[in-house]
Amino acid sequence: MKKDYLRVFDLSKDNFIFLINRAIELKSIKDYSKAPLIGRSIGMIFEKPSTRTRVSFEVAVYQLGGHPVYLSPRELQLSRGETIKDTAQVLSRYLDAIVIRTFSHSTIEEFARWSQVPVINALTNEHHPCQAMADMMTILEKKGKTEGIKIAYIGDGNNVANSLIEASALTRAKINIATPKGFEPLKDSVEKAKTLTEVTLLNDPYEAVIDADVIYTDVWLSMGEEGNNEKKEKFKNFQINSKLLKRAKPDAIVMHCLPAHRGEEITDEVLDGTQSVVLDQAENRLYTEKAILEFLLLL
């Protein structure tokens, strides 16, 4: 039976933790001669711009011995009215898995419904599960554990926040989410996560970061919201800066999924500071995506 990875909660706790540990193992492997995906072709449909996700997936597929097939929306008949059903069924005859970065989460759910090969969510408006796995891998590397770790997420309750909440639940990390009123994360993610760990929704970032082990933020304006100055104004007190950082534990790490809008959600001083692990976090996308590909295609 084929498996998909559309949101973090598609995986069990045991499988999610297994994949984090497998990603750490893969990080130590520099010999790519074994090539477990040799002869496999992985389709990559990107309807949104991407730097880290596209490059890390292409490199992951290549280093595993597979062939990445990049498909821009302009090159697909979807842009001329072909149905998702027809596209998914046909591509399943050519490809061994399909990575999709799109807008509505319902789009990728429909694609997965008709696809006969695994589908991986490379970002939708509601979820960013590959990012969340790399986030938890980074926390495990830096803190030596995830269970009981206190995460403070400051900013918009967006796709990154939703997936981070779900990943925290599966790894038993505690998480505070501080957003302006009206910008809370998905209720579905929060309520399911609360059955496994502590999830606290707040509107005060300074309260959220007290004794935090991890401080995490993302852009205030997601793709498609550029120029929304009214929304940006509501987030002006939700910046990660040195004053806020002092409220967390002295050894707290700072995370950001990138790209960052420097001077908005985070200052240069913090992003480039000694407590920042954003580059390690970005690098770990490569290894978690290798682990995901292995899991969906080979296990």
Active site residues: 101, 128, 131, 218, 257, 285
In the chain the beta strands, taken as DSSP E runs, fall at 41-46, 67-71, 97-101, 119-121, 150-154, 174-178, 199-202, 214-217, 253-256
Binning the chain into helix, strand and coil, the percentages to the nearest 5 are 45, 15, 40
Would the CA dihedral through 108, 112, 117, 120 be positive or negative? Answer: positive
Q: How far apart are CA 137 and CA 114, in angstroms?
A: 31
How would you list the strands of the sheet with 119-121, edge to edge? 67-71, 41-46, 97-101, 119-121
49: preceding bond cis by omega (within 30 degrees): no
Q: Are strands 119-121 and 41-46 parallel, antiparallel or unpaired?
A: unpaired
Angle between helices 278-298 and 129-143 (to 10 degrees): 120
Q: Which residues contact 265 (CB under 8 A, 6 or more apart)?
A: 154, 155, 217, 218, 219, 220, 235, 238, 239, 240, 256
Whether the CB-CB separation of 145 and 179 falls below 8 Å is answered with: no
